[in-house]
Amino acid sequence: MSLGPVMLDVVGTELSADDIRRLQHPLVGGVILFARNYTSPAQLKALTASIHVVRQPPLLIAVDHEGGRVQRFKEGFTRIPPMREFGKIWDKSPKRAKQLAEEAGWILAAELRAHGVDFSFTPVLDMDYGESQVIGNRAFHKNPQAISELAFALMQGLKRGGMAAVGKHFPGHGFVVADSHVAIPIDERSFDEIAQADLQSFRQMIDDGLPAIMPAHVIYPKVDSKPAGFSERWLQKVLRQRLEFNGVIFSDDLSMEGAVVAGNVTERALAALNAGCDMVLLCNRPDLADELLQNLKWDISGQSLARLARMHGRRDLDHAVVPDMVALRESAEFTQAVHEVGQVGLSEADLFKA
């Protein structure tokens, strides 16, 4: 059975009978994990192993694990600072900031891969305009050049750890104040204004080989009346044709308030898939998941399947088993990276205590 175009979550810390039933549905292709799915490293490894044996080829396993306030697994994992902290260092020393961002990406990927997670939805490529309720210090910087350089460094670190990067939220969520989880944000700027600012980081990262992108649940009415994630104009004409992006397009969560303009859950999924998404996410609503799996009719293309296959976590260059946490902690290089990244964002008083 090939991968399907839907990514769902699971309810708890181990698979229930309902979870397994949903994950075995041919429309499903991936699982996104949340903090509620985590109690310990051993439990997480058992959960991901149980997800991987449900289907062949194994389902993709993803998580929002950016650092700062968006880090789902904390106890037993290295604290990753908010991306803004690397931007602050970039202002003083771009070279040092890029080195630390790459190390953070390596740590993030290596630890998640050691627990069976294929990829994280990171990095955030949004510009920090200082107004957004949901982006905030998740953004590297307000300067597109700083964002591009730091995000590329983080992507290289992720790749080193065996993980593909996912840039978000195309074409830019940083300008609007509203949070698309609870509202329908509207960005009144023209296409040229967006292209000259927010799109620059996406363009550069695409040129640098970005494997995947997640569009924003934001409406840009001067470009299209639909949110970007449901817009053929944004996803096909701009992203695929103008920017020549050939990686995976993941929708943002279809249960978010910013998605309701597209109709019921099946209509939302169809709108996103028809616009150009390869895979749609539906989180925190098992009732809607059942409705979607019952009603959605979609034949995934061979092109989408090939793109999604590249999101599976990579083994090391010798095709050996992914290093576990014991092996990582016995590595002097990894330990040094953890120490250096652990100092990022700490105050002088914190550093003195450390």
Instruction: Give the pLDDT confidence of 45-77 residue by residue, as tens digits.
Output: 999 999 999 999 999 999 999 999 999 999 999
Query: Would the annotation count 168 as a binding residue?
Result: yes
User: Is pTM beyond 0.75 here?
Assistant: yes
pLDDT computed for residue 317 by the predictor:
45
Measured CA to CA, the distance from residue 106 to residue 340 in angstroms comes to 12
Measured CA to CA, the distance from residue 243 to residue 206 in angstroms comes to 7
pLDDT computed for residue 161 by the predictor:
94
Helix, strand and coil percent figures for the chain, each rounded to 5: 45, 10, 40
pLDDT computed for residue 131 by the predictor:
79
**In CATH, what is the architecture of 6-353?**
Alpha-Beta Barrel (3.20)
| Rounded-to-10 torsion of CA 339, 74, 91, 161 | 70
Measured CA to CA, the distance from residue 177 to residue 129 in angstroms comes to 9
pLDDT computed for residue 181 by the predictor:
60
CB of 222 closer than 8 Å to CB of 253 = no
pLDDT computed for residue 180 by the predictor:
55
pLDDT computed for residue 322 by the predictor:
73
Residues designated catalytic: 181, 252
pLDDT computed for residue 217 by the predictor:
86
Query: Would the annotation count 64 as a binding residue?
Result: yes
Residue 120's DSSP bridge partners are: 63
Measured CA to CA, the distance from residue 81 to residue 66 in angstroms comes to 9
Q: Is the pLDDT assigned to residue 288 strictly greater than 60?
A: yes
Measured CA to CA, the distance from residue 31 to residue 210 in angstroms comes to 21
Query: Which amino acid is located at 150 in the chain?
Result: L
Measured CA to CA, the distance from residue 313 to residue 294 in angstroms comes to 30
Query: Would the annotation count 72 as a binding residue?
Result: yes
DSSP codes joined into one string, 293-331: HHH------HHHHHHHHTTSPP--TT--PPP-HHHHHT-
**71-88: string of b/e by CB count within 10 Å (b at 16+)?**
bbbeeebbebbbbbbbbb
CB of 44 closer than 8 Å to CB of 116 = yes
Domain ranges (residues) in the chain? 6-353
Residue 250's DSSP bridge partners are: 279
Measured CA to CA, the distance from residue 150 to residue 173 in angstroms comes to 18
CB of 219 closer than 8 Å to CB of 225 = yes
CA distances from 153 to 86, 90, 317 (A): 11, 12, 20
